[in-house]
């Protein structure tokens, strides 16, 4: 396992050593090292430390400079302004350090693992049975998948949970209809497609709804069916299972289109906690966390009140004895903490459910299921807006079907890919495949490049644009490097630390150096948008580099060609790895 200390970390260490030599009481102090435009880095920490020690900051800074060990790492350290340090590192150190990362046999590009990995359960990609998936489900899936990849990459043990909506009174009507029309979901002629599965469910939903609204006797039978379902009646469960299975065919087809792996074993829907509900209520009641209020079992909070000023409780069990969303979520917490042994629970769910989670988490804390060592957090996401800035709807005011959006994104992207296909010599199959990767990448990147809590506009024109902060811009950056590597002929990437670097090479190199630390920071949130921003900056540094430094130029000495090939190859690998963590493919030729 070869993790490579970044240049930033090395500079930090030397500065800290010099600082504690100059001022013993600053032994653990942070020199506050930042990347800077003036030099490679600037350290701003001395000012505050000098103030605390009642010393002159410029003098302290000068003493730090005198004590710093430069070695091969530091080219120049100078005092500037009231007591800042400007730090410039050697070209040799940059190239050597990147070369060590390039040579990492683990393929991790030298990125270290987190120091204290734990177990995180991520609750994401949770559509509802017998219903269409919409853009909200897209966000949960895309952000959740990135969170899974990022955390796993840092060494965290991640358990995925798809808390699908597969339980509730609405199934009474559906099941009763199926009991009375038993073969409606049988597939004689083999398997059905996702689209067919959804249209079957939609047809059944409409038919049963119509009957429910027009036929009082059916209504009564449907209500009785809910009781049978909750009591676990085998025939009722068997019909219910058909709805779940049909819905899964549909869900998996959409996740597949999203180029996302969802495993059956990780799908543990609301129904998966049925056996725990009674006990959850008993524990809450016995501990006094929940109390009886007009026949319902409720938890109250001082700071949560409705518009009328009355407290709004979390209802764990309704007065008719039925369990709802809260009872299931509280049981899921017990399962995740005590059976799965998680220390972090992450919920990738719409911000509009924040009040629910606040109440659920607080209840679990009072019950002792969550505490300082075992934490739950909602990774709340904002709303997807249409071009008009309002929540995304069709012209008729209906929710937009996720599949339609994805198909349109793929269509648009395929057009973009096709326009350039001749130049790169892509055959039809490659155009189709790249169209999918570019289209799906565009949708994912647009979502992941804004911070999750913010709303964003779903604008396909912008998403597939070749210029600007889009996935296809990053995908082209990657493909362009691959094209250079192919054209390089016999010249191979190789690091040459003895070479002086051009400014654009240094800038690219120093940005590459930050990948490891950035990933650990991204994983903390997790905050995928910071990774997206890093990758976009990386591609921008690459563009500047191309403008100023030719890679394959007959005028270049062999070592320069090799060193530049090495720099762009490490850039490509970093782009590839970073994009993979966001769930986005990087085609070799585009």
| Shortest separation between residue 52's beta carbon and ligand ARG, angstroms | 47
| Shortest separation between residue 149's beta carbon and ligand ARG, angstroms | 20
User: By CB under 6 A, is residue 126 in contact with ligand ARG?
Assistant: yes
| Shortest separation between residue 479's beta carbon and ligand ARG, angstroms | 37
Q: Which residue, 332 or 442, has its beta carbon nearer to ligand ARG?
A: 332
Ranges within 306-335 binding ligand ARG (CB under 6 A): 329
| Shortest separation between residue 537's beta carbon and ligand ARG, angstroms | 33
| Shortest separation between residue 233's beta carbon and ligand ARG, angstroms | 24
Ranges within 18-37 binding ligand ARG (CB under 6 A): none
User: By CB under 6 A, is residue 128 in contact with ligand ARG?
Assistant: yes
| Shortest separation between residue 409's beta carbon and ligand ARG, angstroms | 22
User: By CB under 6 A, is residue 163 in contact with ligand ARG?
Assistant: yes
In angstroms, the first-to-last Cα distance of the chain is 34
Report how far residue 515's alpha carbon sits from residue 541's, in angstroms, rounded to the nearest whole number. 14
Report how far residue 497's alpha carbon sits from residue 480's, in angstroms, rounded to the nearest whole number. 25
Ranges within 351-410 binding ligand ARG (CB under 6 A): none
Report how far residue 308's alpha carbon sits from residue 29's, in angstroms, rounded to the nearest whole number. 51
Q: What is the DSSP letter of 337?
A: I
Q: Considering only CA atoms, which of 431, 396, 398, 426 is closest in space to residue 414?
A: 431
Q: Which residue, 177 or 273, has its beta carbon nearer to ligand ARG?
A: 273
Q: State how far Cα 210 lies from the chain centre.
A: 41
> Computed from CA positions of residues 417, 423, 428, 434, in that sequence, does the dihedral angle turn out positive or negative?
negative
β-bridge partners, 122: 160, 346
Q: Considering only CA atoms, which of 110, 91, 97, 93 is closest in space to residue 504?
A: 91
- Size of site (CB under 6 A) for ligand ARG: 8
Given 112, 165, 272, 439, the residue binding ligand ARG (CB under 6 A): 165
Cβ pair 521, 528 in contact under 8 A: no
Report how far residue 380's alpha carbon sits from residue 375's, in angstroms, rounded to the nearest whole number. 15
User: By CB under 6 A, is residue 280 in contact with ligand ARG?
Assistant: no
Copy the structure tokens of residue 131.
């219903």
| Shortest separation between residue 119's beta carbon and ligand ARG, angstroms | 17
Report how far residue 284's alpha carbon sits from residue 371's, in angstroms, rounded to the nearest whole number. 16
| Shortest separation between residue 270's beta carbon and ligand ARG, angstroms | 8
Ranges within 342-361 binding ligand ARG (CB under 6 A): 347, 349
> Computed from CA positions of residues 394, 397, 401, 402, in that sequence, does the dihedral angle turn out positive or negative?
positive
User: By CB under 6 A, is residue 144 in contact with ligand ARG?
Assistant: no
Q: Are strands 291-293 and 296-299 parallel, antiparallel or unpaired?
A: antiparallel
Q: Which residue, 90 or 128, has its beta carbon nearer to ligand ARG?
A: 128
Stretch that binds ligand ARG, among 123-131, 241-249, 415-423, 467-475 (CB under 6 A): 123-131
**SS3 assignment, position 224:** helix
User: By CB under 6 A, is residue 132 in contact with ligand ARG?
Assistant: no
Stretch that binds ligand ARG, among 120-128, 241-249, 300-308, 543-551 (CB under 6 A): 120-128
User: By CB under 6 A, is residue 166 in contact with ligand ARG?
Assistant: no
DSSP 301-313: -TT-B-TTSPBPP
Listed in sequence order, the DSSP H helices in 83-156 are: 91-102, 135-153
- Chain contacts with ligand ARG (rule: CB under 6 A): 123, 126, 128, 163, 165, 329, 347, 349
């Amino acid at each position: 396992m070869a993790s490579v200390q970044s240049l930033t970390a090395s500079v930090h260490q030397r500065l800290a050593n010099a600082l504690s030599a100059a001022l013993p009481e600053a032994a653990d102090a942070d020199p506050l090292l930042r990347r800077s435009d003036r030099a490679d880095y600037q350290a701003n920490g001395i000012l505050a430390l000098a103030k605390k020690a009642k010393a002159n900051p410029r003098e302290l800074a000068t003493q730090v400079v005198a004590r710093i060990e430069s070695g091969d790492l530091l080219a120049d350290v100078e005092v500037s302004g009231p007591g800042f340090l400007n730090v410039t590192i050697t070209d040799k150190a940059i190239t050597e350090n990147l070369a060590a990362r390039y040579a990492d046999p683990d393929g991790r590009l030298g990125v270290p693992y987190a120091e204290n990995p734990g177990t995180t359960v991520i609750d994401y990609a949770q559509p509802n049975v017998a219903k269409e998936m919409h853009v909200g489900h897209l966000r949960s899936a895309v952000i959740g998948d990135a969170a899974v990849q990022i955390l796993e990459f840092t060494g965290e043990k991640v358990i995925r949970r798809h808390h699908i909506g597969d339980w509730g009174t609405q199934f009474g009507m559906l099941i009763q209809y199926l009991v009375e029309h038993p073969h409606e979901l049988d597939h004689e002629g083999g398997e059905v497609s996702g689209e067919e599965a959804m249209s079957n469910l939609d047809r059944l939903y409409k038919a049963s709804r119509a009957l429910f609204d027009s036929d009082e006797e059916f209504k009564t039978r449907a209500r009785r069916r809910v009781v049978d379902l909750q009591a676990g009646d085998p025939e009722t469960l068997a019909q219910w299972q058909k709805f779940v299975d049909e819905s899964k065919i549909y869900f998996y087809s959409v996740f597949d289109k999203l180029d996302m792996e969802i495993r059956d074993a990780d799908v543990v829907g609301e129904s998966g906690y049925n056996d725990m509900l009674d006990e959850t209520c008993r524990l809450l009641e016995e501990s006094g966390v929940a109390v009886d209020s007009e026949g319902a079992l409720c938890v109250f909070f001082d700071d949560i009140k409705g518009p009328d000023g009355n407290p709004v409780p979390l209802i764990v069990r309704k007065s008719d004895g039925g369990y709802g969303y809260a009872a299931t979520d509280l049981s899921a917490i017990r399962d995740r903490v005590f059976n799965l042994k998680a220390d972090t629970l992450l919920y990738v769910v719409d911000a509009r459910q924040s009040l629910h989670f606040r109440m659920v988490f607080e209840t679990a804390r009072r019950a002792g299921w969550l505490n300082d060592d075992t934490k739950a957090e909602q990774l709340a996401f904002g709303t997807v807006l249409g071009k008009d800035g309002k929540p995304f709807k069709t012209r008729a005011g209906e929710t937009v079907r996720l599949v339609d959006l994805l198909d349109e994104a793929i269509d648009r992207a395929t057009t973009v890919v096709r326009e350039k296909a001749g130049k790169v010599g892509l055959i039809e199959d490659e155009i189709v495949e790249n169209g999918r990767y570019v289209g799906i990448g565009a949708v994912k990147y647009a979502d992941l490049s804004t911070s999750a809590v913010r709303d964003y506009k779903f604008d396909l024109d912008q998403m597939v644009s070749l210029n600007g902060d889009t996935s296809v811009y990053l995908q082209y950056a990657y493909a362009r490097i691959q094209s250079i590597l192919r054209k390089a002929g016999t010249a191979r990437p190789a690091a040459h630390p003895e070479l002086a670097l051009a400014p654009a090479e240094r800038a690219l190199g120093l940005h590459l150096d930050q990948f490891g630390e950035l990933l650990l920071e991204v994983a903390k949130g997790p905050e995928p948008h910071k990774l997206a921003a890093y990758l976009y900056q990386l591609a921008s540094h690459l563009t500047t580099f191309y403008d100023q430094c030719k890679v394959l130029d007959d005028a270049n000495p062999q070592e320069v060609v090799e060193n530049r090939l090495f720099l762009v190859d490490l850039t490509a690998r970093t782009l590839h790895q970073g994009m993979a963590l966001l769930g986005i493919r990087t085609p070799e030729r585009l």
